[in-house]
Amino acid sequence: MDTAIVENDPAREMASREGYVSAHFSPLGVTLQVTASNAQLIHAVADACLGWEAPTDPGGPMLRLSLKVGPVSVSGTGPVVRTDGPRLLIQGDADVDAGADAEHGYAWCRVANADAFRDPDFREQVLDGLILWLVTRSGRTPLHASAFVVGSTAMLLAGRSGSGKSCLALAAYSAGYPLLSDDTVYIEMQRRFRVWGIPRPVHVFPEDASEHAAGPIRLRNGKRKRAIALTAPPKPVTADAAILLMLQRGDHLSLDALEPSEAAVALGPLEPGFDLLAEDVMLALHRLTRHGAWRLNLGLDPAEAIRFLTANLPMLASRAVS
């Protein structure tokens, strides 16, 4: 079977009304209506959603995002993120005052100037944060895993931080497999089963990126990592089936079959952020492990691990879900 590449027409028209402009986007196949006081803010959303838009489900939800340029109160503490159930608040001295209410499918953001989102890090922190807060509470459950696609099946590589997810993702990409993500995938289960990813640079420790020394160093969860930009596919890549592999460091490569209850234990406690959606994550994990899962004991060479997985695909497929 061929890799599932979602057809997508990124063309859209901006409508103008009473000094505001509006446009529709479709991050991870969910309809997002954006209204802004400045056209530059619409373009910023287009940049934020680049590579992870797909045709929407007519029966799916309609999310709304309002963007404005205006005065922002300064706290002097830097951007502070607060959560309270379905609500998110982002405030501070970073030219932003923003929030989201997933219960009502609505987010808002006020910035001090229309150029604020030209900074890609700021755009990712604020716009990605708002959009994903809504989308992940609208049928796209996040799972802490890297993933690459074989045919139409996602190979989900889950494990605790430092287990080797990003290195395996980079090795899979180097071997020619389409990459969904090096850190987080999004599981759709309500009207169909689908695995989504967001194209972003792969982040690995500098010592694991000797062939990509030109990539910038960034802080990821308090750790210094090298950001390796990959060539994005022409259209979003998704998967209609999945195989879950729990990663474990070891001296040699091996695969062990896991029962569903063992997979949940192997995943361990949910990390910050994912724990806010604990019930949804556990439901996704239950679906993914319906036929069981696998433990992949890693050796020292990620490229060898990818070859090992490829050689064992027929056996791995016995526990795939769709």
State both tokens at 268: 């361990």
Lowest-confidence pick of 6-10, 134-138, 312-316? 6-10
Lowest-confidence pick of 3-12, 165-174, 253-262, 292-301? 3-12
The arithmetic mean of pLDDT across residues 166-180, rounded, is: 90
Tens digit of each residue's pLDDT (9 = 90 or more) over 26-80: 999 999 999 999 999 999 999 999 989 999 988 889 999 999 998 777 655 567 8
Q: Name the residue among 161, 191, 322, 173 with its Cα closest to residue 244.
A: 322
Confidence label for 122 from pLDDT (cuts 50, 70 and 90)? confident
Report how far residue 281's alpha carbon sits from residue 288's, in angstroms, rounded to the nearest whole number. 10
- Which residues 6+ apart lie within 8 Å of 230 measured at CB? 173, 179, 199, 201, 202
**Percentage of the chain modeled with pLDDT above 70:** 83
| CA torsion, ordered 283, 83, 162, 147, to nearest 10 deg | 50
Gyration radius of the chain's alpha carbons: 20
Cross-strand partners of 53: 27
State both tokens at 256: 């062990």
Report how far residue 125's alpha carbon sits from residue 138's, in angstroms, rounded to the nearest whole number. 20
CA 208 to chain centre: 22
For residue 308, with 0-12 CB atoms within 10 Å meaning exposed, 13-18 middle and 19 or more buried, which class applies? middle
The arithmetic mean of pLDDT across residues 306-315, rounded, is: 95
- Round the average pLDDT of the chain to a whole number and report it: 85
Place of tokens 């160093």: 217
Tens digit of each residue's pLDDT (9 = 90 or more) over 265-290: 888 889 889 999 999 999 999 999 99
Tens digit of each residue's pLDDT (9 = 90 or more) over 190-234: 989 999 998 887 766 555 555 655 555 565 665 666 666 677 777
* pTM, full prediction: 0.88
* Ramachandran quadrant class, 147 (left: phi over 0; alpha: psi -120 to 50; beta: rest): beta
**pLDDT value at residue 239:** 96
**pLDDT value at residue 250:** 79
Comparing 260 with 201, the larger pLDDT belongs to: 260
